[in-house]
Amino acid sequence: MENLRDFAISVARRLQDAGFEAVFAGGSVRDQILGRPCDDIDIATSALPEEIRKIFSRTADVGAAFNVILVISDHKENPHTIEVATFRADVGIADGRHPAKVVKATAKEDVARRDFTINGMLFDPIKNEIFDWVGGQEDLQKKIIRSIGDPRLRIDEDHLRMLRAIRFAARFGFEIEKTLWQAIREKASLITKISAERIYDELTKMLTSVHPDQAFEMLADSGLLEFVLPEALAMKGCEQPPEYHPEGDVWVHTMLLLKQCENVSAELAWGCLLHDIGKPPTFSHEPPDRIRFNGHTDVGADMCHTILKRLKAPGQLIDIVAELTRDHLKFKDVPQMRPSTLKRFLRNPNFDLHLKMHRIDCMASHENLTLYHLCQQKLAELPPDILKPAPLVTGHDLISLGFKPGPVFKQILDAVETEQLESRISERELALNFVKKNFKIS
């Protein structure tokens, strides 16, 4: 099976053979120059959508209003896909995200409407030639994120570019050029006009790439964080007890977590960002008592639901992040946990995420991994059939005993399982006798 780049080259060749211009555009050219792997290649062409459809047998319309066609390879099970877009110029501003309309243009005009110089280069894979009319190669060498043309106009055209500038700067370790940075600070409030889904997507890309801590420091410094995640700003200056957190306030602690979150899952990254989000609203300090955050895990879990629902995050991610936040202090109780409580904790379907976040949390403060290693030891000692033994009693058994189906079933079955996990009952008859003795049939 040919790789993505080979397929993209074949698409460009067929377009050129048909008499059209066809070049790689955007991020793939940038990554090629940087020597970075690229799993997404876009092609820009002088061909119109109807002409593209005539050349390729497998296509799909993905952006009809913007003359974008998806060309699909012939492989049946895992086909490659390439976005092929007609050279265009944008006319007017519709909503801060899209132009009022698009018109066919030349390659140079197409580049002129793109966001940043490092994304504004074209590459002809047939002639092996780079077209750089905006100084993208020079800015890559200088490690600068610079807008193509007037940064204020570029932001007015698409407010999401403010978040993208920060994401690229953090990802590549670049600086944002001064006039672009000033424009972002001036226009930060415009980000509220962008859909929650797109903001969530950009924030998640920042969190799950490299240098997420730098991205969030820039979000705070630019003023954007106030509009996309205002709850996080409250962590700045929120003091913590130095005997537990010698590293500093809640914001400093959280940034130290994010520094360890490069290329992790979205659930873990969001968990690390929000795990202490409940501390500012629960802060209390009445000397000589130490600083306290009573109930901050439950408050934080509720805030996770509120924040992530507002950002239109996937429901499953919301539930997992809230759980990570609610339960992240459970580890301190592990040495004293009853066997049944510990086994239920260890067998949690998301326990791997809990354990990873606990390690990251520890390394961002006292660096004591005693409980982390204890949990690893317990997991090694307890096989799956001990952590989650086959039930000795079922709902059918309860019905046979005369119980009516209802909420009491869960109460009874949980009680029987607790006896199993505590190693007090291991046989079916003993379990049935336990039920008869401890629960009345109504």
- Mean pLDDT for each consecutive 10-residue tract of the chain (442 residues)? 88 97 96 92 96 95 82 90 92 61 84 96 97 98 97 95 98 98 98 97 97 98 98 96 90 97 95 98 93 97 98 98 98 97 97 98 95 97 95 95 93 97 96 95 78
Largest CA distance in the chain: 87
Give the pair of three-digit tokens for residue 414. 């949980």
Residue 273 contacts residue 207 (beta carbons within 8 Å): yes
User: How many CB atoms within 10 Å of residue 88?
Assistant: 20
Please tell me the distance from the alpha carbon of residue 197 to that of residue 224, in angstroms, as a whole number.
Answer: 16
Domain ranges of the chain: 1-141, 230-387, 395-438
Per-residue pLDDT at 328 = 98
Cβ neighbors of 173 (< 8 A, separation 6 or more) are: 143, 211, 214
Residue 148 in tokens: 């193509």
Whether CATH 3.40.50.450 fits 1-141: no
The answer to whether the CB of 111 falls within 8 A of the CB of 120 is: yes
In this structure, the strands spanning 144-145 and 175-176 are parallel
Fold of 230-387: Hypothetical protein af1432 (1.10.3210)
0.75 cut: is pTM over it?
Answer: yes
Q: Which residues pair with 81 in a beta bridge?
A: 72
Give me the pLDDT at residue 100, please: 56
- Please give the structure tokens belonging to residue 137: 């190669």
pLDDT score at 441 = 85
- pLDDT score recorded for residue 352: 97
Structure tokens at 5: 């780049």
